[in-house]
Amino acid sequence: MALELKVDALSASYGAVRALEGVSISVREGEAVALLGTNGNGKSTLMKCLTGLVTPRAGSITLTIDGTAHNLIGKGPQEIVELGVAMVAEGRRLFPRLTVEENLFLGAYRPAARASLAKNLEFCYATFPVLKERRRQLAGSMSGGQQQMVAIARALMSAPRLLLVDEPSVGLSPLLVSQTIEKIGELNRKHGMTVLMAEQNFHQTVKIAHRGYVLVHGEIAFESRDVAELENNEVVKNLYLGAS
Ligand SMILES: Nc1ncnc2c1ncn2[C@@H]1O[C@H](COP(=O)(O)OP(=O)(O)O)[C@@H](O)[C@H]1O
Ligand SMILES: [Mg+2]
């Protein structure tokens, strides 16, 4: 297997606040895996542990690439990007006063991606044609949906092996939520991109995910082998389906 992410018994805290407790998940090459959970249950904390922005208190994170195991704990964000892990952060985190294209170039600092910058840019524009039309527009002047496209495209500019997407639906209208999540699904299906996506939006997420985990109060409350298991699970029904 060329790529596998394995998180084992991971715990993380912010001072006295325990955000993650004994979390174990895995993502294998070619999969689209969902990390489901409502607000404040630890999704972003897990994403930040994976990208070196939060240092866990206990547990392990191993990224195995072509048979070589890399321990991600203790590595900085830059080193983790260089291994081929890119994150689309919650809230997009664009540079609003730079143009679309300048934002995209900032995603290409990974040395391995610099050589193929033109090719990666072409790929981003083919994936999101509107960004090519608007490449000279200031990112901050675009609509929320377009800004999310820029954020995803910027991550793609590092030619990642593993794409982490943290709540792409935040702040978007229902139509844009479904379009954005569908685009992420298309990257997985058509281009073989390995994806771990954190989301609250259960119905849109199960359209693109192969399987998933449900985080409740920082613990994995349920792990599914496929989407049907997710849809039929009691924890999920209570959280997402029962009340509505
Ligand atoms: N920087 C921080 N300092 C203190 N507590 C935090 C911080 N970030 C998140 N938390 C807390 O950690 C828990 C998990 O938050 P988070 O990982 O952001 O959840 P989610 O992404 O699922 O909404 C929450 O209780 C939240 O209040
Ligand atoms: Mg979050």
Digit-coded pLDDT (tens) for 190-235: 999 999 999 999 999 999 999 999 999 999 999 999 988 988 888 8
Over the chain, what is the mean pLDDT? 93
CA of 90, closest atom in ligand 1? 21
The SS3 call for residue 224 is strand
User: What's the pLDDT score for residue 114?
Assistant: 81
| 115 — pLDDT class (breaks 50, 70, 90) | confident
Task: Give me the sign of the Cα torsion angle 51, 195, 8, 45.
Answer: positive
12 lies in some domain: no
pTM for the full model? Answer: 0.95
The SS3 call for residue 166 is strand
Q: Which ligand is nearest to the CA of 46?
A: 1
> Cα dist. 207→137, 211, 225, 237 in Å?
32, 10, 15, 16
190 lies in some domain: yes
Residue 110: which domain range?
Answer: 30-54+75-210+226-241
187 lies in some domain: yes
CA of 38, closest atom in ligand 1? 22
Asked if residues 132 and 125 have their Cβ atoms less than 8 Å apart, the reply is: yes
User: What's the pLDDT score for residue 243?
Assistant: 44
CA of 47, closest atom in ligand 1? 17
Alpha-helical runs (H) found in the chain: 43-50, 77-82, 100-106, 111-114, 117-127, 129-133, 144-156, 174-191, 202-208, 227-232, 234-236
143 lies in some domain: yes
Q: Over 60: is that where the pLDDT of 242 sits?
A: no
Query: What is the strand order of the sheet 58-65 is part of?
Result: 17-28, 3-14, 58-65, 68-71
Asked if residues 215 and 37 have their Cβ atoms less than 8 Å apart, the reply is: yes
112 lies in some domain: yes
- Provide the number of structural domains found in the chain: 1
- Ligand 1 pocket check: which of 23, 25, 41, 167 to mutate, most ligand atoms within 8 Å of Cβ? 41
User: What's the pLDDT score for residue 244?
Assistant: 41
18 lies in some domain: no
What is the share, in percent, of the chain residues with pLDDT greater than 70? 98
> Cα dist. 160→110, 156, 166, 177 in Å?
9, 6, 15, 23
Instruction: Please give the distance, rounded to the nearest whole angstrom, from the Cα atom of residue 39 to the centre of ligand 2.
Output: 7
CATH code for the domain in which residue 115 is found: 3.40.50.300
Pocket lining: 77 vs ligand 1, CB cutoff 6 Å: no
Q: What span, in angstroms and rounded, lies between the C-alpha atoms of 105 and 171? A: 25
Question: pLDDT tens across 78-96, in order?
Answer: 999 999 999 999 988 999 9
